[in-house]
């Protein structure tokens, strides 16, 4: 073997090693990808209303999970504080909605929670409890008036400004 042939052989050997290392680190081995036996726990991926949004007094609360859930375990794990009469309804295998029996009370903070005992359809529990704090729509109130109450010597053609909280 001459020097040139030896150099080519080393190049092929080095490139083969790089290829095998890259394949091993990407999870590919023997022609098929390797799979992990661990599955991430389910989680709530969407809410309605969203965090920070006010809840209408005639509104509903919806929780959307990232996969089909075990309905019985979720129903026993959901809670609203302060307590509200109503019914949880499944609109799909991933979405549960709460409809109150009566209108929500105005300007009240509610906490909707799902305990870690809620499981997906395969039995995997939530990694940690979920909690959503909501506030219902408040009353319309005046927040500022210009000119202020009690002002004197105001021109008859002055603009009067009244600002509200919404």
From first to last of the 166 residues of the chain, give the pLDDT tens digit.
555 554 555 455 444 554 544 555 555 445 445 455 688 999 999 999 999 999 999 999 999 999 999 999 999 999 999 999 999 999 999 999 999 999 999 999 999 999 999 999 999 999 999 999 999 998 888 889 898 888 888 888 889 899 988 7
The continuous run of DSSP H or E covering 114 comes out as strand 109-114
Please give the pLDDT value at position 166.
Answer: 77
Q: Are 49 and 59 in contact (CB under 8 A)?
A: yes
Residue 33 phi/psi, 5-degree rounding, is: -70, 145
Residue 75 phi/psi, 5-degree rounding, is: -60, -35
Q: Which one, of 134, 135, 53, 58, lies nearest residue 101 by Cα?
A: 58
Please give the pLDDT value at position 117.
Answer: 97
């Amino acid at each position: 073997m001459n020097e040139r042939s030896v150099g080519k052989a080393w190049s092929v050997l080095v490139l083969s090693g790089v290829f095998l290392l890259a394949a091993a680190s990407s999870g590919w081995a023997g022609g098929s990808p390797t799979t992990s036996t661990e599955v991430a726990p389910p989680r709530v991926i969407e809410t309605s209303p969203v965090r920070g949004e006010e809840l209408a007094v005639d509104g509903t609360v919806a929780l959307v999970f990232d996969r089909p859930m075990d309905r019985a375990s979720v129903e026993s794990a959901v809670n609203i504080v302060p307590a509200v009469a109503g019914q949880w309804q499944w609109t799909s295998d991933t979405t549960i909605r709460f409809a109150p029996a009566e209108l929500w009370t105005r300007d009240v903070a509610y906490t909707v929670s799902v305990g870690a005992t809620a499981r997906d359809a395969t039995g995997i529990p939530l990694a940690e409890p979920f909690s959503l704090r909501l506030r219902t729509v408040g009353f319309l109130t005046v927040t500022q008036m210009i000119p202020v109450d009690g002002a004197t010597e105001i021109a008859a053609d002055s603009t009067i400004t009244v600002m509200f909280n919404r």
